[in-house]
Chains A and B, each alone.
Chain A
């Protein structure tokens, strides 16, 4: 006498981390902070996946140092990843271009499914590419699934190459010459940091997210793995004019966050 054991067929949502594991990530505990941030974000991501009857969230990760390689090669359901995540290790150069080529290879059909939700690509870096980034990006962006993907970038610390990260995200739809995102203020209050008092905080995932400390890194990873996964997979309440054609996935607001201590 139970409801039949059936459910809505799910479309895969491929979520891919591209993690900078160059030597500089060793400094000031950045590598550990990234591993922690990813681990900590997994339960929330699993919850969002569960709440969405229409999506099967599958996670992979690429690490890049003197070469790029798959850190998690199999598209892994997020609840399984919680027990199987192996920490990333920092060493060597920054083969970011090669990482993009690696991802391009899996966004082709096959191995990519015929039908899916928009993939989410999250590029995390603390420096500048040491290989041919332009070629990597061209290869990636030739894939229709890469064009459809939500591409986010997180700059760790102050030495990240923001122009490169912006190229990965793509040009901003409205104004091109806006500064990168500083830490959002405490619940809308004017915050300190490097902004002038009263200056509005640019808030958009369409620019590199600058994580100047471990807390903000964790918050951005959390945001990408919950709010953005939600937006890419499950329609959310809309306000104003429906479906303004700003992009193919409406990005959620960045979270109101707390400014922690600068640790690197």
Chain B
């Protein structure tokens, strides 16, 4: 691929005060090219548009300006930071069309991979981190929608994932628009587009984002497509007209609560049949609502805030099967069976707080929203985490991640302080007293 900008040179762009060194071409897509660059001693990314893209998308520059002014909804976006163009003389000297422009954004760190690596089965990742990625997705679009903006083109292509943490980064934010205004030409990606958008009956907006978000999370959680069931098997050649039928004209969720026409095939859709039962009924119900009643009626789609609540609750329910070690997400107070090995699961030890119930299992965390009725769910600032003893793995402790000393009340009636950074042995614990409220251990 040939580079639009001269690699290895330092340029003075309009839009930023200092010089920018173009280091190398990272990749190109349909709209332009992305470069690694250095600005003010920091490594940044620079997107430069093809002239034909600028000519086709007349609202692009205005949308970018407004995005930059609005600032990033949260840290999950590779948000445009500055609009860049070249002075006329520089552009003509370098044979770059003078009307060209681009923008600067943060550089994606090397340990983030495209989510297609996960969906394609090329990645080792825990179910917990896939659920965390979904939470971060819901949170990102929650913040975006709260700003009155919409994204329009949610799909696998614009999302990066850090497998060790579940953290995400969303790129390609140049279609972001004020919800309902439609200053732009992106409509979305077939397979992710809401049916009314695919059929051209509605412009994309926040409610079609809610649909696409559900599809994307389903694809991450199951490694399967929510609309590919028996109806897909009737399609010989999967081309655009076929996709229009499958995703637009007669779309049926494979796990629709009422319509069984599109159930997964045991052979061709084995991934869906294996992974769907991993998730608790309350989370499944959110998919059934958005992809059921919400399929035809945009007002029935689950809001980003409801997804955050449902996903955070699912993470709280996480425990490890004593037989096979797999992660299980089931009601903690009831006996059930492991989805992976079929082994029996007894009610699990759990922490009760004023606002939550969290399984006492390695890596599970307590967060401010477990205590404070006004705090909305966040999973990136834990107050405590369950850790196994470095030598005796069967021994679990709760590590105090706050900056206050807690008091542990033990079974023998004694109490003992738990300093920040210390772990409290769960085998003797009754409850912890903290300034936020108490943490009861239920066995």
Contact = CB atoms under 8 A, between A and B. Distances in A.
A6 B191 CA distance: 20
A46 to B, nearest CB: 13
Contacts of A118: 237-239
A252 B157 CA distance: 16
Nearest to A147: B237
A242 B199 contact: yes
Contacts, number: 161
B284 interface: no
Contacts of B187: 238-242
B114 A51 contact: yes
B52 A253 contact: yes
Contacts of B373: none
Interface size class of B (residues with CB under 8 A): 35 or more
B390 interface: no
B244 interface: yes
Interface residues of A, number: 48
B53 to A, nearest CB: 9
Given A238-B190, A239-B56, A240-B187, A7 B121 contact: yes
Contacts of B114: 51
Interface centre among A2, A53, A241, A252 (most CB of B within 10 A): A53
A177 interface: no
B4 interface: yes
A257 B50 CA distance: 11
Contact of B268 (A9, A187, A239): A9
A144 B50 CA distance: 37
A232 B237 CA distance: 11
A50 to B, nearest CB: 7
B50 A235 contact: no
A252 B187 CA distance: 16
B126 to A, nearest CB: 5
Nearest to A248: B239
Contacts of A186: 95
Contact of B200 (A53, A115, A241, A253): A241
Contacts of B248: 243
Nearest to B2: A258
Interface stretch (B71-79, B319-327, B392-400, B404-412): B319-327
B124 A8 contact: no
B144 to A, nearest CB: 18
B84 interface: no
A135 B303 CA distance: 59
Contacts of A238: 186-190, 193
A8 B191 CA distance: 14
B186 A9 contact: no
A248 B236 CA distance: 13
Contacts of A115: 233, 235-238
A117 B52 contact: no
B121 A6 contact: yes
The 3 A-B residue pairs whose C-beta atoms are closest, nearest first, are A188-B51, A7-B121, A235-B190
27 contacts: A1-B126, A3-B125, A3-B223, A4-B275, A4-B278, A6-B270, A6-B271, A8-B224, A8-B228, A8-B271, A50-B116, A116-B236, A186-B95, A187-B96, A235-B189, A236-B157, A237-B153, A240-B187, A243-B198, A243-B200, A248-B239, A249-B239, A250-B240, A252-B30, A255-B1, A256-B4, A256-B52
Interface of A: 1-9, 11, 50-54, 114-118, 144-145, 148, 186-189, 232, 235-243, 245, 247-250, 252-253, 255-258
Given A235-B191, A241-B187, 5 more contacts: A115-B236, A237-B153, A242-B198, A252-B30, A256-B4
